[in-house]
Chains A and B, each alone.
Chain A
């Protein structure tokens, strides 16, 4: 029931199964197209037999801007998962994992040091998902999200910056065992 292939813009008309789910953010058109334009092989989808998109991953390869080179928060060349989502009906079939593995392979191919992502600290399902694939918390970004996904009385929510090292990081220099203890401000990340 599922096919994996590269994203194409027409898929944006078939996103409802994924994007009507409250945990999946819908972006402006330019945001999706930017990824398709710059990193087409890091934007992959899974579709069902009717052409509905039932999962996708959007990623990029980058390093921090050069001006931050000497900052302690400088990020070397790495892959970043901007969004990954699987439609409720297609969860727990390994689709999310397959999509992430593709991105990790691309990160290896492009000689990146690690793959990273941000996730809401209360999105336990997603955290479990990433941990199962070998990601760990590298640092906590305080009040990264301007709203709270489950508690309307709160006006913000922390993010976990999670990482998985790639083949290049032989010495495991880019991950931490106790990342939960490292707190940073949103202004320290980009």
Chain B
């Protein structure tokens, strides 16, 4: 665009210097005056346009809005406006015209202008304007007009803009249902015609209307997949010009890549098999660069497809055949392709039917699968990704294979390794694999639940150590901890070895520490959280083992600060511990900023205001960078940088960017940001400037909007097997972000906003009665809507598994309160009280009592001098926070009802419109209950503060961590060795304490009314 939306467009050259200057300098009053004068003198309507535009910059509402009136007049007038008028009005109405009104106003005018001037170069600017407001209806019209005006232009963009926009419109909510089919078919038919031209002509010239560039091909297939048939897609795939293989030969991989995904979605495995085979063969034949198709996905899909074939043995041997060809030229390949080939050897072996794997009769576990694993590891065991590369295969081994692998094959490999430094790398890998196997159910056998009439608490017997076990086997975990610790200490004691470590990709002690930490967490009883289990993640966990894990990781972080997997895990553990300020110190160096915040922000910020609102009290607004990311990236109605993609002819980018934009606007992280900030603000009595649903970022979110969670857990070091949940599910405070939770948070904030709404003090309506009636009907309407939405979300089958127990209670009570308020507002004194009301208040009472009990169970443990019971409280601020939030929601609902009642009494002294006495009584009773709980919270926070102020804390924390001095068990001893004993842990204990104190101090300033 030749001018920015925020700078005025240049006036026509014919305008005199004086007016030009006033206008350009922003002297709006002068510009208005001069323009008016010129208009009177010259009778040129352009001057009136300048006047109106300059007026839009003045303060008065009437002056500002003149431009809207002028635009409206143009729209209704049906004449073709002047181009410069449009530019001026578009600039002048920015900020006054809501972007959703653009299509009906300026968009319509832009399209009208282009229809009258299809070949004018300014038509492109009209298209760009419509796109900036994401007005697809008029943009499509404009593009279609331009395409008709330049049907065989060598600038192919006109044709493809038109098709792209027709397609975008056909999948957009902006399209009216009646025309959706028409646009869908229009886009498809135009592209099919283009595809036919390409198919049948020996060479496509730029002026032809066939498909030429890769982007055009991509567009065709995207549209075909959306609006066309599967048969048509499969037919085109066979085409010698248009098919994926043909495109591969042209050096274009994208179609091939996408086709594999599409075929997989359809379950077309035979076709995948053929496509992969042919693509790989192209490399051997020299039709593409040799390793062009040697991506891991291609090999993997090839092998999977073979294993699904009717004759799987024959198909797998075909895979072997192709693989052999590549193995023979492997030396020419880049390391990465070599590795892909090695992994494929592994993959194909694991795809063979187990019946064909004739085991060695002497060693039942010595199968070709184990042999292949060892062959792979011999080449790759010292690489950083070795564990990740093999873990899924190891987890598939039968117990016999696993036993042979761990007890014969790996030790043999270790015995044959001459280099000391490589030996320890291998040992660390061995520890990781041993841990992995504890998460695999095939290593356990069922054990009767009753033996000799005695109930057995352990349901399994471990097939490795023969001990009774739960999942995982505690005995094995202990053994892993002890062995890892020994290896760790062996390394640290060997100065020569230590000297070699900086030259390695990774310090093997880091792996050993991680194995120990994971084992300690499991041994301590850490489980995946959902609302169906214990309310606080650490309540049933052995605090001593948990603390040992944290201490160990903290110690290791000092030695290897650059390891992000370790850092991320430690952040989660400190959040669980309630040491939020310390968690923040560890989080900050990761420098999660700008674009990656959407995916990584939740790893620190989710639920943060419920653990430590005090963190928001610092100088810099805590979540400002997140908010900035969204307001910056979503500022315009259109996807960011979309015009760049249009002007460059990047059609698939256009589709991808618009899809990404739509998801970013529906991001769970975005909603988390808004809700967390508001909650924290309210904790300290701060004012939220706008109601949450008036925030531009939340503007288009309605109940039907699916909010998407894109949290990236990719950097966690995950030692768990695919048989169970990944590590992040163990160490999170509760279930991850979800559509359900995001909506409940959003609706609850709307409800609270409604309760706190107060008309401005100077607002004195002329007809107070009429206004009051209107207000009440607005309130009931809003409440009915909120109650309906909240109830819907609460009752969705998945919802309980998306929330912590405390959250479930909170949102349930808020939804009940909204119902109660609605009943209260619609039942006047003379009506009968609906029967649902007592049921509703009873439900609130019982849910609230449940939450309070959970809170009291942990808070009762706080005594002076403190005992280990305080641990349960310090690590469960979340329950207290939600009890507080619930109590306040009750209190505010009661106060709101009472204020409506009093207002009505004041307005109509007869009391006819006042609320029902019984309902008010019920609300008051609830209010008292809530008040009592708030009092308990206040006392509790005070008690915590006093307890944390007591002396002897360092010893206390160390005792919780290691047990009585001298009485340490083998696990505590093993950990103690690595961390340098109690002495080495003192500084850490101090940090823990300091962070707890800081958190509680923050809670001390939180409002409880």
Contacts and interface: CB of A to CB of B under 8 A. Distances in A.
A134 to B, nearest CB: 16
A-B pairs, 7 with minimum CB distance: A94-B334, A9-B660, A37-B645, A37-B644, A52-B714, A89-B384, A3-B295
A33 B641 contact: yes
Contacts of B398: none
Nearest to A44: B253
A183 B710 CA distance: 45
B715 interface: yes
B685 to A, nearest CB: 34
A92 interface: yes
Interface residues of A, number: 49
Interface string A85-104: 00011111111011000000
B599 A12 contact: yes
B564 A9 contact: no
22 contacts: A1-B296, A1-B339, A1-B343, A1-B389, A2-B295, A3-B296, A4-B253, A5-B254, A9-B656, A9-B657, A14-B712, A17-B714, A20-B592, A22-B562, A26-B595, A26-B596, A27-B594, A28-B632, A36-B657, A37-B657, A88-B505, A94-B336
B296 A2 contact: yes
Given A37-B641, A40-B215, A90 B385 contact: yes
Interface in A16-55: 16-17, 19-22, 26-30, 32-34, 36-41, 46, 48-52
Nearest to B641: A33
A13 interface: yes
Contacts of A172: none
A89 B254 CA distance: 26
Interface in A45-92: 46, 48-52, 88-92
Contact of A33 (B389, B596, B640, B712): B640
Interface stretch (B146-154, B156-164, B647-655, B671-679): B647-655
Contacts of B564: 16, 20-21
Interface string B804-821: 000000000000000000
Contacts of A8: 656
A10 interface: yes
A20 B296 contact: no
Nearest to B333: A94
Interface in B905-931: none
Where chain B touches its partner, the secondary structure class is helix
B429 to A, nearest CB: 14
B416 interface: no
Interface residues of B, number: 58
Contacts of A40: 215, 648, 650, 652-653
B714 A30 contact: no
A61 B603 CA distance: 37
A37 B648 contact: yes
Contacts of A92: 335
A1 B387 CA distance: 12
B629 interface: yes
Contacts of B343: 1
Contacts of B592: 20
A88 B506 CA distance: 10
Of listed A22, A30, A40, residue having the most chain B CB within 10 A: A40
Given A2-B340, A3-B297, A27-B594, A16 B653 contact: no
Contact of A26 (B389, B591, B648): B591
A15 B384 contact: no
A22 B339 CA distance: 27
A34 B641 CA distance: 6
A42 B654 CA distance: 16
Contacts of B656: 8-10, 36
B335 A94 contact: yes
B345 to A, nearest CB: 13
A2 B712 contact: no
